Structure formats: C-alpha cells, structure tokens
Structure 1
Amino acid sequence: MEVKNPGVTDRSKRKREKFKAVADGEWTRCMFKLERKARFCNVARVPGSQYCGNHIDLDTGVESNKTKKFKAEMRKRVPCTLDPTHTVYLFDLKKHLVICNKLKDAEAMKQLPYYSLNINSGSSTEKPEEAEETSGKDEENEHSQPTAARQASVFQTLSKMDYNVFAVRLEKAYNELIGSIPTKTLNHEACSKLLTEKQATGAAHGALRHIQQQASILGHMEEKKLLHPSYTYMELGAGRAMLSLALTQLYPASPFILIDRAGTRGKADQYIATESKCTRAKIDIRHLNLSGMQEAVNTPLVCLSKHLCGVATDLSLRALATTLPPNEDKKMSPHLKGFAIALCCHHACNWDDYINPDYFLKMGFTAVEFKLLISLSGWATCGMATEGDAVETVLGWGREKRTTLGRICKRLIDMGRVHYLRDRGMHAELVHYCEQSESLENCLLLAWQPQTSYIQ
C-alpha cells in the first residue's frame, strides 16, 4: 500500500527558512525565539506589536485604547493561573479565567465516559512525615531536561551529604538487580518503504533515525507476538501519533486509540483513519478509566508509546492493571496482550505516583532519597554541565561519572516497573532498542502475557 506521511517537509529546512525570513525582514509572525526548539514562535502577531498574545508581555511599548483605561500596575501581563504557558493582562485575568481554553478542555474531559477523577493516582507506603517532602507533583512533566534551578538544588543537597556512599549504594543496587541490559536494534517492514523513500530524497539523519527507532520498537513487538490485525492498538502519550501511523502501513484496518492530554498540531489521525477506526481521547492518563472506554474492551488490546514521559508511565501501568476489565486481584487483565513503552524523562516521576515504591524500600532507599534519585536521573541526558564544572570541582564527579549515575538511576526506576508487572503475572523485560549514540533515551519496557497466541 502507499505510505502516507504528514511530515513530508524536513524540519531543519523549515527552521532555516524561518531564520532567513527573519534576517530578510519578511517574518510576519511572533518574534519570540524558542531557544530549546531553536526557532521562532509561529503564532500571529498582536496588531501593533512584534509579538503574539503569549509573548506580548515582552513588548512594553504596546498599549491599546482599552489598556489605557487602567492604572499602570493593572496593565502588567501575568501568567494565566489555569495555564501558565500563556499570559493575560492583570485587569483582564478574572474575566479570562471564565473563558480560558484550559477550563473548557477540563470541563470537556470530565464529560468523557472514561473519566474518573484521579483514578490512577498512587499512594505512598512510606510514613506520612517522610513522604511529605516528595508529595508535590512535579511541574516538569514534559519532554525536557531538569531546570537549572532543580540541578542547582541537587548539587546543594549532595554537597551536604556523604555523596560517595550514596553513589556506591546506587551502583551496588544496579549490579545486584540489573547487571546489564542488551542492546538490540531491529527492523520492521511497516517502516521499510517510508525509510527508503526518505533516503532517496536525501533526508537528514535526524529525520531517518526516528523512522529507524519506530522500526525497532515494532520489531520488538513482533518478536513478542504483539502484532496482529485482530488487535486494537492504543498509543499512550500519542502526540502526533507517528508510531501508530507507521503501524497502519501493516494493519490499515485495525482500530487505533490515541491517548494524549494536550492538543497537538500536525496530527496523523486523518491518515490513520482512512481505512481503520481511529479514536483520539484528549484526557490526562491520571483520570483514564479503561472500563468506561468501549473502544478498548471490545477486542484484545496492545499498547505502545514513544516516548512516555516520567510519571505518565506509572499512571499508565496502574490504569492497565486496575481499570482494564476483566481483572483479578494482583493480576493483569488477560484482555491485555502486552505493550512496548519507550521510556523517558524519569526526572518527572514522583514518589506518590511511582508504581512500585516497595521495591525501593526493600533496597533501603527512603522516599526522600527517591526524590534525589529521580533528580540524578536527569544527568543521563544533560550531565549537569554547570558553568566552570563546579560539580566536578566540589564532588569530584566528572561528566562521564555523572552520566553513568544518571543512567543507573533511570534503570533502577525502570526495573521497579518490571518487577511490578512480573508480580502481576506478565513477562517483562528491559531492552535498549537502539544505540545510545542514536538516542540517549533508548530503553524499551516490554511486557507480554504468558503463552501469548494469535488464536482468539
């Protein structure tokens, strides 16, 4: 069949075109530069300003007839209290909170038949006074590195403790419980044609590697007998749903369920739904009650994700274990055939929601130490490169040491998830589905039912 792909234009080419337009004075959109994405904001400007509504607070010289009616202190733009990603005038805040899209989305989510407030939130087995420091939900619940402030806080905490002893405890736990994780890069026919076409057009390696990673994830699913046209596929944290799009090349008539809490531009839904039934559920996984989702309970279910961020992995595992019928106490529903989750952003985990806190308690780590451990996990991707490398000067840990400790922390968190699944009757394992040079977040959590068969 013909390969359908909405992401035809090379992203790096689009970025170059934007920067050229800015340099030539032809850029008519917002002038705010998104440093992390290395591009300019693409939202239309507010009339009379060089910025859009989200970034107009940077343009102090813009005043409308409406704003002139208010005192200077009320003309300040402040973050919306419902969604800090955009700002509003202070004098307009009360009115805005009634019509904010964030509120509308929250109300729409509550009306969904599979919404149950906090049904997948966890609870700590630690003493309340010990868990108190870790009870706050992590604000960095996105695909991003730990903030500079958080890294500085980690450095201060380590410098006040016997950090070398703590590192030895982490390394010992890793060696005893994990040892080594195999690296196995696979291919899959679902991605072959698209990869060939991209290579023929001279696509950059950055574009090709994502297709190759998708092929490896699907290859691992094939090995575990998790691919079959009679299954329903649920992509968790779907985003644009490019992994599901790849799978439709193999099973164009299979049902797909796309779970994501946010709206996404450039979605692949329309391409997936040409032959198959595609359902997008805009819901936070924390509130996802699968027993109320008929699309998920009518046929055998397989879940997949690339990448599922931090605490979202734990919430997803709890949803599959406790809300997917039929289920027995301490057993995963036989309706679930298995899943493949490419893991990431462990610094966005938290103690209360972590799926297996007893696993860390048995190793001798407290809730407070778990908070430090998840912060250290960020070192696997950023190495905590402070100016002048103060960490190496004070702690004696070079970048390589910090990166290794970060990966150890990530895999300890992941192995707790593996034990949780094994305790509930599933086979589960960790595998590096691509080389670390291709992706720093290269670990795949695989789970499948014993004696998985295509016979229904």
Structure 2
Amino acid sequence: MAAEVECGKARLRCAFFVSHKHRLCKMIPSAGCRYCGEHAACEPDTTVGQQRKRIPCPLDPKHSVYADALQKHLKKCNSRERPLPVYYMKNINTEESDDEEDSDNNDTLPLHTEEVAGLIAKIERFSEGHCFVEFGAGRGHLAHWVQRALPANKRAHFLLIDRSTARFKVDGKHKQGAGEFERLKIDIQHLDLRKVPKICHEGFPVVGIGKHLCGSATDFALRCLAEQLPNLTNHVQSDSGIEVPRAEDQDTWTAGVGSQVLRSESQDWSRKGSSVAGLVIALCCHHRCRWRDYVGKEFFRARGLGCKDFSRLCRLSSWATCGWGRGRNGTEGHDPVGETTCPFESQLDLDVNTRVALGQQCKRMLDAGRVDFLRKRGFEATLKVYTDPTVSLENILLTALPRKVYC
C-alpha cells in the first residue's frame, strides 16, 4: 500500500529531468499535464508548448517567464531593481587607497551555543532602552539569544544587518515578544546608521554586536559605529536633553558645528542623544582583510609598515588555524588556508605549533590596529578570550565602551 502511495506521488511530479541534480523536477503539474508551469514549454504536444514560448527572465535567468507576459513580469519580479533606502550611502564605511591590495573578504560561519554563551556574558551589562545592531546577522541567532538573556521586564530593540537574504530566520519568533526586531538588507560597507529610522527618530543608544564578522566586514562595522555616531567621550546630556560636547570643546562646538546641529532637522539623531553605548564583536578570518578597508592603517604606518607588510601578515594569520580542519575533535576551524596560501612554508621547516603561534601573533597585530583606531575615537577598547579554543579557534572578542565623562 505504501509503495502504491509513493508511486502515485511520483506520477504527480513534473516529468522534466533536472540534469545537474540528477533527478526529476519536484514541482506538481496542472491536471492533465506532464510538466509544471516552469517546464511546460518542454511539452510540444500541448497548446502551451506550441503557442506560448518561455524564455529566461532577463533579470534573473534562474527562472523563466512566458515571452508574451514578459513586460508584466518585469514589473513584479523579485529580482527587479528597487529604490535605494535612505540609509544607503555608497562606500561610506571604507576609504579610497592608492595602495595595491590583493586580498578578499567575507565569509559566513556556523553559530555554536558555547560561543553564544560567551558573547552574551559580555553583552548582559546593556539592558533596557538600547538598540542592539547585529552586523552580519545571517539568520539572527545571536540577537535571538541576546533577547532571551535579557530580563523579561526589560525592553530592547534589535536591528539585524545583512547583505543577503537568509532562510530559516529566527526573527519571526519575536513578533509577539518584548524585543522589537527589524531587518535591513544592506552591505555594511554602504550602511549609514544616522539615517536608519529607529536610530535617527527614536534616539536609542546603540550597541554593536557580531559573531564572526569575517575580514573587512569587521572594519566596516567599526567605521559605521565609531565615525558616524557620537559616543559619550565627546558628548554628554545637558539638562534640556540636548547632547553637547565636553567643556574643553565647548567654544569650538558653539561657534561651528554645534549651532548647525541644533538648527538642522536632518541631524535629529544628535538632538535625541543617539550614541554608541558599546560594541562586542567576535573576530575571525583575518586573512580576508583588505588594506583599503582596514581601520588600523595609521597604526601600521606609525611603525613603518605598509600595504605589502599588511598583506603578508594577513596571509600568515591563516597559520593560526592550519592543521585544524573543520570538525576535528569537534573544534570549529575557520577556513584553514595556511598551506595553500603560503607556498614557501615547506622551506621554513617550521612545526605545526610554531606556525600556529606565529599565526596568532599576526592576528593580534591586526587586531591591535583596530584597538588603536577605537581608542583614538574615544573608546576604551580591549581584546578578550571569550570561549575555549576547543570550541572555536577564533576565540578573541573585541569589546569597546566610551570613556567616562565627568562634568
């Protein structure tokens, strides 16, 4: 009986053979047809196959459309060009560079429960009234567990940033919860936080979070937070609720930018006191950093280092995970490319432990430039170990809080 049911199901499936998947199409055709709507043109004995021709969509060739309905389809195709959001500003979180660079960025990594627990332990100090911005959110698991960790009577806001659409997102679990979740589909490289409605209109203090922001994505996030929004070092709340700078900067502020801020409606985020309350970002994949986007160029140049030195450090940083594949003893390995990236490795005659130690030193050198970048912008930044290396070899956390201001 079960075999007959399975046979009946098979007959209901489209008869088109998908060659690259080595199986039949799983779509269900209309009554009396052997092919689904996508493959109806393959049925020459029907009126559809003879009179209506299907062509690849010019916006996305992964799907097809009837040629006589093309114009109608283009108006509603999910791949059509859409108006850019107000918070889009091209390359706002990167800078032009005349130096050559040859590395690439960005990767996605799985989320591990033990790592999330370590991150949440650092984030719990922030509570009600904050807006948590998760960079590289993916399915949003980090924001999900942060919300679950907050006390039930505390209300927070969550802004999930990702440049692509992820399946099986957890945002829907919070539609009726205490936290407000909003997702923005945009590359961090082009994100202007000052123009995001939840921040510019409501003025929530911002907490940046991220669980493995690979390569240049971390640098984009740091610029987005440290260079766009003020922090408590340079801004304090006056009795009237308007944010003003420290006393030593008062004259400059009053004569210049400050007067414009108070008059400008477009700078409403400054009137409402939006500021960066802190950031907690787990670092990884330093070999995917790019000199053009790196925030620690001043730190390197002050030590006589340049683009080529940076590139070498990025390549050698992969040694920190070389010899550790994904899944070895349950350990999360992050894109181990040590041997393929460094062809001269065999000539150095270094054992695995030495390569790992050198790779970790290269990573910390790159992270030191990021710490220096944040400290020059009024933050107390530190690097911390947040989980055991048996859980993840990329177990370093970058945290930063605004320096306290006493008035």
Query: Structure 1: how far apart are the matches of 2:315 and 2:279?
Result: 27
2:18 is the counterpart of 1:49 = yes
Equivalent residue number for residue 135 of structure 2: 236
Instruction: Give the greater-gyration-radius structure (CA).
Output: 2
Query: Structure 1 CA distance, aligned partners of 2:15 and 2:296?
Result: 48
Report how far residue 363 of structure 1 moved: 2.0
Q: Quote the Cα distance in structure 2 between the aligned partners of 1:115 and 1:288.
A: 5
Matches within 5 A, 1:60-75: none
Q: Name the CA shift for 1:450/1:385 in 2 (closer, same or farther; >3 Å).
A: closer
* Residue 103 of structure 1: how far off its partner (Å): 5.6
Provide the C-alpha distance between the structure 2 equivalents of 1:65 and 1:119, rounded to a whole number of angstroms: 47
Matched, 1:247 2:212: no
- Aligned 8 A contact 1:230 1:254 in 2: yes
Residue of structure 2 equivalent to 1:371:
311
CA contact (8 A) 2:160 2:181 kept: yes
Aligned length: 308
1:426 Cα offset (Å): 0.8
Q: Cα offset for 1:280?
A: 0.1
TM-score by structure 1 length? 0.58
Question: 1:296 Cα deviation (Å)?
Answer: 2.4
Paired residue for 2:192? Answer: 289
Alpha carbons of structure 1 residues 211 and 372: separation in structure 2 relative to 1, 3 Å: same
Q: Residue 194 of structure 2 aligns to which amino acid in structure 1?
A: S
Q: In the alignment, residue 311 of structure 1 is paired with which amino acid? A: S
**1:101 CA drift (Å):** 8.2
The within-5 A match list for 1:1-150 is 47-52=16-21, 104=80, 107-108=81-82, 111-124=84-97, 128=98, 131-132=99-100, 134=101, 138=104, 140-143=105-108
- Contact 1:217–1:340 (CA under 8 A) maintained in structure 2: yes
Give the Cα–Cα distance (whole angstroms) in 2 for the partners of residues 99 and 349 of structure 1: 39
CA contact (8 A) 2:318 2:338 kept: no
Residue by residue, what CA displacement relative to the aligned partner does 1:118-154 show, whole Å, maximum 9, x if unpaired? 1111234xxx3xx12x1x561x52137xxxxxxxxxx
SS of equivalent residue, structure 1 residue 363: coil
Distance change in 2, residues 1:45/1:289 (3 Å): farther
Alignment of 1:256-335 (within 5 A): 256-275=158-177, 276-297=179-200, 298-324=203-229, 335=275
Distance 1:65 1:81 in 2: 19
Partner residue in 2 for 1:347? 287
Structure 1 residue runs of 5 or longer lacking an equivalent are 1-25, 29-43, 57-63, 68-79, 90-94, 145-205
Q: 1:418 to 1:81 in 2, by over 3 A?
A: farther
Q: Distance in 2 between matches of 1:394 and 1:258?
A: 46
Measured at CA, do residues 390 and 450 of structure 1 come closer, stay the same or move farther in structure 2, by a change above 3 Å? Answer: closer
Instruction: Judge conservation of contact 2:212–2:284 (CA < 8 Å) in 1.
Output: yes
In angstroms, what is the RMSD of aligned CA positions?
4.2
2:231·2:277 contact (CA, 8 Å) conserved in 1?
A: no
Equivalent residues of 2:86, 2:196 under 8 A apart:
yes
Q: Is the CA contact (8 Å cut-off) linking 1:360 and 1:366 kept in structure 2?
A: yes
Counterpart of 1:399 in structure 2 is 352
Q: Does structure 1 residue 221 correspond to structure 2 residue 120? A: no
Instruction: Provide, for residues 353-391 of structure 1, a one-character-per-residue CA deviation record: whole Å limited to 9, x for no partner.
Output: 10120111222222112112112112212345659x975
* 1:361 paired residue number: 301
Q: How many Å apart are 1:116 and its aligned residue?
A: 0.7
Relative to structure 1, is the Cα distance of residues 393 and 235 closer, same or farther in structure 2, using a 3 angstrom cutoff?
Answer: closer
The DSSP-based 3-state class of the residue aligned with 2:381 is strand
Deviation at 1:446?
A: 0.3
Q: Which residues of structure 2 form unaligned runs of 5+? A: 1-6, 26-38, 43-56, 65-69, 236-244, 247-269, 324-336
Amino acid at match of 2:94: S
1 CA distance for matches of 2:227 and 2:189?
12
Change in CA separation of 1:101 and 1:363 when aligned onto 2, cut-off 3 Å: farther
* Aligned sequence identity (%): 34
1:17 maps to none
Is the contact between residue 213 and residue 282 of structure 2 (CA under 8 Å) also seen in structure 1?
Answer: yes
- Give the partner amino acid of 2:189: R
The 3 A distance-change label for structure 1 pair 293 and 390 is: closer
Q: Provide the C-alpha distance between the structure 2 equivalents of 1:303 and 1:46, rounded to a whole number of angstroms.
A: 50
Q: Deviations over 1:143-201 (max 9, x none)?
A: 37xxxxxxxxxxxxxxxxxxxxxxxxxxxxxxxxxxxxxxxxxxxxxxxxxxxxxxxxx
Distance 1:47 1:379 in 2: 48
Counterpart AA for 2:91: N
When residues 221 and 452 of structure 1 are mapped into structure 2, their CA distance, relative to the original with a 3 A threshold, is: farther
Check 1:65–1:237 CA distance in 2 against 1; reply closer, same or farther (3 A cut). closer
Does the 8 A contact of 1:143 with 1:309 survive in 2?
A: yes
Change in Cα spacing, 1:366 to 1:278, as seen in structure 2 (3 Å) is same
CA distance in 1, matches of 2:283, 2:182: 23
Counterpart-to-counterpart distance in 2, 1:301 and 1:314: 17
Does the 8 Å CA contact 1:391/1:397 hold for their aligned counterparts? no
2:214·2:283 contact (CA, 8 Å) conserved in 1?
yes
Question: Against the structure 1 CA distance between its residues 400 and 365, is the aligned structure 2 distance closer, same or farther, given a 3 Å change threshold?
Answer: same
Distance in 2 (alpha carbons) for counterparts of 1:311 and 1:292: 22
Which residue, out of 398, 414, 419, partners 2:367?
414
2:276 to 333, 336, 339: 336
